[in-house]
Structure 1
Amino acid sequence: MDVSSSDTLWAATGLGSLARQALEYLVSHPGADEDAVAAGTGVSAAAARTALRSLEVELLAVRIGRQPTRWSAGPPRSSLGALLARKRQELARAELYAEQLDEVYRTAPGRQIASDLFEVVESDEQVGARYAHLLRSSRHEVLHFARPPYVTRRIAPTDTSTAAGATVRPGVRLRSVYDSDGIADDGCLETALRGAPAEGELRLLPGLPMKLVIFDRVAAIMPLRKDDPAAGSLVVHSSTLLEVLTALFESVWERAMPLSLEGRPASHTASERQEAALHSRTRDILRLMSAGMKDDAIARALRLSRRTVQTHISDLGRQLGARTRFQIALLAQERGLFGDTEG
């Protein structure tokens, strides 16, 4: 039998991997003794003995002889069926206990839960812990709006891909839109790019409507007050509101400018490297400008002088025959100067 698939299927029974292997061996080798089971499963005799006794406790195997002791598996359909029935009863009791705990959780002093659809989380510590829990629970996709004001001088829990040590699981897609009006403040652009996982995608857009993180489209977290993120957050479970918030994110995502300041082109000669660097820098300035960032913000984000940024924009305007920033962005897009912007 396939070992990896068997491990997955057997997880619900509560039996360990070695017990599962011993049972599978007994099913096809009736009357085997402990040494045979040990040899057949590739473990020591002591380990095989422990596995067989655990099967005996669960009524999955019985002893059928002595000197040496031989073992026989019970009919899998009935013996495993009885085990699974017991596990279902245990799960039912656990679900009842979870309901009782949830009632205590909801009525605890200082906790505000209006219904199953919403949850109010007030302190920074609680917000960070709730965010980390939702992030670790995500299996498919996390959608993210980040905009000022931030709770502290670093990016707050609802404004980054990590919080309280939590990170996006491998394989989970992270899509983030940062407000270009505030992205250059306090090194946010550099932090956003450095913190993005391999599966992450970043875009910029001025005037984001709100802070927001959506987890697998089954839960979301957002500040209670737009102007004061330290006032607490609202955790949303309402499917109807989640559909609205997801639609809002997708609408903003389509209008936002893809951002990636990595992957500078390689070259060999000094002149080629200089030309490539200039082209790459111009493209970066162009992308940030098209995302609505002002010259000062672009300069801080790319660690350039304001004069250098303005020189690049002026030179590009002359090359394109454009007189306004809007015309520059429009003509640059038409001529493919942004590079690969697919997201």
Structure 2
Amino acid sequence: MRQHKAIAPGIVRLRPSADLNGDVRKLLSRVRSEAVLAISSPVRLPRHRGLGHTAVRDLMATGKQLRLLYSADYLDARDRRPLLEDASLGPTIRVAATDFHNTFIIDRHAAVLWSGAGARRPYMVMVRDAALIGALHQFATMTWESAVRPPLCPDSPLVSLDERTRSVLHTLDRGLTDEVAARELAMSVRTYRRHVADLMTRLEVSTRFQIGVHAARLGLLRPE
């Protein structure tokens, strides 16, 4: 990737190389502490899925903070199973219903934006202006925080909850006490609490309130 020309102070147009996959890898290699990767309508990058698994996972292995934001249209257009089955990536991924410009924000010091999903040689811009980067970072992180977790794969262990565990989930949603819920489900309070602890582990949460929030986002609170 080479600089092409300055568009405005702190904004430079980039010329992608023939190896866009390699260009993105080089960008991610510059991350020192955190990165936000927002992808809505990506360029034609056949190995993007491999890139996501390799470069992103490598960053996480070194303790970098990552947020991965995808548009629903992007995920619907691709085989998302390998991405969603990667437990290490799960907590970092959010899916937004709205579209946005493809954006990489690196350490709040630089941002790369690109568009032109159907173009043969789509353009990119590098932003170095601190005020603009701050605005981009705020927008991206707020969008990530308000977005939902991705839908589950059909064979996810959460989808395959047995009927008893699903019943426990619904009693939690109704706000029943442990004693009332256990009596209604014809089990001991101790067994009921064991099911609750199992749900916390599966949903990667630490409170009962969070169980309800995450279960709703994942579509697990279906009518009985």
Q: Give the TM-score, by structure 2 length.
A: 0.58
1:220 aligned to 2:108?
Answer: no
Task: Give the 3-state SS of the residue equivalent to 1:151 in structure 2.
Answer: coil
1:207 aligned to 2:98?
Answer: yes
Task: Give the 3-state SS of the residue equivalent to 1:183 in structure 2.
Answer: helix
Task: Give the 3-state SS of the residue equivalent to 1:258 in structure 2.
Answer: coil
Q: Which residue of 1 aligns with 2:215?
A: 339
1:178 aligned to 2:70?
Answer: yes
The amino acid of 2:215's aligned partner reads G
Check conservation: 2:109, 2:133, Cα contact below 8 A: yes
Offset of 1:126 from its aligned partner? Answer: 5.6
CA RMSD after TM alignment: 4.3
Check conservation: 1:145, 1:208, Cα contact below 8 A: no
Select the structure that is richer in helix.
Answer: 1
Offset of 1:337 from its aligned partner? Answer: 6.5
Offset of 1:137 from its aligned partner? Answer: 2.0
Q: Which residue of 1 aligns with 2:178?
A: none
* Correspondent of 2:147 among 234, 238, 256: 256
| Greater RCO, 1 or 2 (C-alpha within 8 Å, sep 6+) | 2
Q: Which residue of 1 aligns with 2:21?
A: 128
Offset of 1:151 from its aligned partner? Answer: 0.9
Offset of 1:179 from its aligned partner? Answer: 0.7
Q: Which residue of 2 aligns with 1:98?
A: none
Larger mean CA deviation between 200-209 and 126-135 belongs to 126-135
The amino acid of 1:146's aligned partner reads I
Please give the per-residue CA displacement for 1:259-284, whole angstroms capped at 9, x wherever unaligned: 3748736xxxxxx964379x5xxx9x
Please give the per-residue CA displacement for 1:80-119, whole angstroms capped at 9, x wherever unaligned: xxxxxxxxxxxxxxxxxxxxxxxxxxxxxx8414177233
The amino acid of 1:174's aligned partner reads L
Q: Give the TM-score, by structure 1 length.
A: 0.40
Offset of 1:178 from its aligned partner? Answer: 1.1
Task: Give the 3-state SS of the residue equivalent to 1:204 in structure 2.
Answer: strand
Q: Which residue of 1 aligns with 2:31?
A: 138
The 1:137/1:334 distance shift into structure 2, 3 A limit, reads closer
Please give the per-residue CA displacement for 1:232-285, whole angstroms capped at 9, x wherever unaligned: 3112222111111101102212320123748736xxxxxx964379x5xxx9xx
- After TM superposition, the structure 1 = structure 2 runs for residues 1-343 of structure 1, keeping only pairs within 5 Å, are 111-114=3-6, 117-125=10-18, 127-155=20-48, 160=52, 162=54, 167-168=58-59, 170-187=62-79, 189-194=80-85, 197=88, 201-225=92-116, 228=119, 230-259=121-150, 261=152, 264=157, 274-275=162-163, 279=166, 336=212, 338-339=214-215
The amino acid of 1:128's aligned partner reads N
Which 5+ residue runs of structure 2 have no aligned equivalent? 171-208, 218-224
Q: Partners in 2 of 1:148 and 1:113 — Cα distance?
A: 24
**Count of residue pairs brought into register by the alignment:** 173
Q: Partners in 2 of 1:171 and 1:181 — Cα distance?
A: 30
The 1:148/1:111 distance shift into structure 2, 3 A limit, reads closer
Check conservation: 1:127, 1:233, Cα contact below 8 A: no
Which 5+ residue runs of structure 1 have no aligned equivalent? 1-109, 266-271, 284-332
The 1:276/1:253 distance shift into structure 2, 3 A limit, reads farther
Q: Partners in 1 of 2:52 and 2:75 — Cα distance?
A: 12
Task: Give the 3-state SS of the residue equivalent to 1:167 in structure 2.
Answer: helix
Offset of 1:215 from its aligned partner? Answer: 1.0
The amino acid of 1:249's aligned partner reads A
Offset of 1:149 from its aligned partner? Answer: 4.6
Offset of 1:223 from its aligned partner? Answer: 0.8
Structure of larger gyration radius: 1
Task: Give the 3-state SS of the residue equivalent to 1:186 in structure 2.
Answer: coil
